[in-house]
């Protein structure tokens, strides 16, 4: 437990996501079950080929390279720049990709010095989140698909993959994540009344494992954010009920399957 977490425990109840995840995994393993994977909304990518024959340089707005300029060769096997778009949803990101394509004639020219100058000057800050490279153009552009994404509410979003020899944009297949929706079972009892369950939307916990180090990580996600991440698939996320002191009490799956944890108290 971190120092910050320890300092909070005296005035609020802190439940560690790692411990909850371990309890869920144990309950599943004992029953030879696996957690259903939840598709997560992909982002729109703009892939720009360097057809100029000369190297092109620019700064990544996200500055992941710590002030080192990105270098895109004009020849060889890796001549593409990868551009991630801003936008609160798929529609906005797709719109920004199409707007940049028209503004800089990207479908014909690919990445150009004009585009990079505008990027470095901050003129594209409202549309471009990050840009980096180099990458193989054909390999990256072939991973784009015609995506139909079901939102939490409203009609599905359809994003067609667009590709020329100079430019491609669209989304990859949705990746799947291990995620649960945690609902603490907290009851309040008044004078001479029955205990009433405190209503709560809960909070999601997503699990990941670093492919290089093997380190396991959990991260809490608020429901309103998770609904944007997972769209209609949010309704299929397994629900995990917990006792604040004793941990996981039961797991509910979208197909109606229910697992009780006999090691902990059950809600009243």
pLDDT tens-digit profile of 71-91?
999 999 999 999 999 999 999
pLDDT at position 5 over 60: no
**Residue range 88-115, pLDDT digits in tens:** 999 999 999 999 999 999 999 999 999 9
What is the SS3 assignment for 132? strand
Q: How confident is residue 11, by pLDDT bands cut at 50, 70 and 90?
A: low
Bridge partners of 234? none
| Segment 24-32 mean pLDDT | 95
What is the SS3 assignment for 183? strand
pLDDT at position 219 over 80: yes
pLDDT at 200: 85
| Segment 200-215 mean pLDDT | 89
Going by the DSSP 8-state scheme, the letter that residue 8 receives in this structure is H
| Segment 33-45 mean pLDDT | 95
Cβ contacts of 157 within 8 Å, gap of 6 or more:
89, 90, 91, 147, 148, 149, 151
pLDDT at 1: 55
Going by the DSSP 8-state scheme, the letter that residue 10 receives in this structure is T
Which position has the higher pLDDT, 148 or 212?
148
φ/ψ bin of 202: left (φ > 0), alpha (ψ from -120 to 50), beta (otherwise): left
Q: What is the dihedral of CA 159, 232, 181, 189, to 10 degrees?
A: 140
Strands (E), the chain: 38-39, 44-49, 56-58, 70-72, 80-85, 128-135, 147-149, 157-159, 162-163, 167-171, 176-184, 187-188, 196-197, 203-209, 216-221, 239-243, 247-252, 258-260
Least Cα distance to 84 among 74, 69, 94, 70 occurs for 94
Q: Kindly report the average pLDDT of the chain as a whole number.
A: 91
How many Cα neighbours within 13 Å face the side chain of 253? Answer: 14
pLDDT at position 265 over 90: no
| Segment 173-179 mean pLDDT | 95
pTM score, whole prediction: 0.82
pLDDT at 268: 46
| Segment 131-160 mean pLDDT | 95
Which region among 5-9, 183-187, 216-220, 258-262 has the lowest average model confidence (pLDDT)? 5-9
pLDDT at position 65 over 80: no
């Amino acid at each position: 437990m971190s120092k910050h977490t320890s300092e909070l425990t005296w005035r609020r109840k802190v439940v560690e996501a790692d411990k909850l995840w371990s309890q869920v995994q144990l309950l599943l393993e004992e029953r030879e079950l696996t957690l259903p994977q939840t598709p997560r909304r992909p982002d729109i990518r703009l892939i720009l080929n360097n057809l100029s024959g000369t190297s092109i340089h620019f700064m990544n707005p996200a500055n992941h390279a710590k002030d080192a300029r990105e270098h895109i060769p004009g020849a060889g096997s890796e001549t593409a720049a990868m551009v991630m778009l801003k936008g609160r949803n798929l529609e906005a990101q797709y719109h920004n990709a199409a707007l940049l394509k028209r503004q800089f004639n990207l479908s014909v020219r690919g990445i150009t010095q004009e585009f990079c100058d505008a990027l470095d000057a901050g003129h594209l800050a409202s549309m471009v989140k990050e840009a980096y490279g180099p990458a193989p153009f054909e390999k990256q552009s072939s991973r784009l698909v015609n995506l139909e994404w079901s939102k939490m509410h409203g009609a599905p979003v359809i994003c067609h993959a667009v590709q020329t020899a100079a430019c491609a944009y669209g989304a990859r297949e949705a990746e799947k994540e291990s995620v649960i929706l945690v609902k603490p079972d907290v009851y309040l009892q008044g004078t001479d009344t029955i205990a009433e369950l405190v209503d709560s939307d809960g909070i999601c916990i997503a699990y990941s494992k670093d492919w290089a180090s093997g380190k396991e990580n959990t991260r809490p996600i608020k429901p309103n954010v998770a609904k944007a991440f997972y769209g209609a698939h949010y309704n299929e996320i397994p629900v995990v009920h917990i006792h604040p002191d004793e941990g996981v009490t039961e797991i509910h799956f979208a197909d109606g399957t229910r697992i009780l944890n006999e090691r902990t108290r059950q809600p009243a």
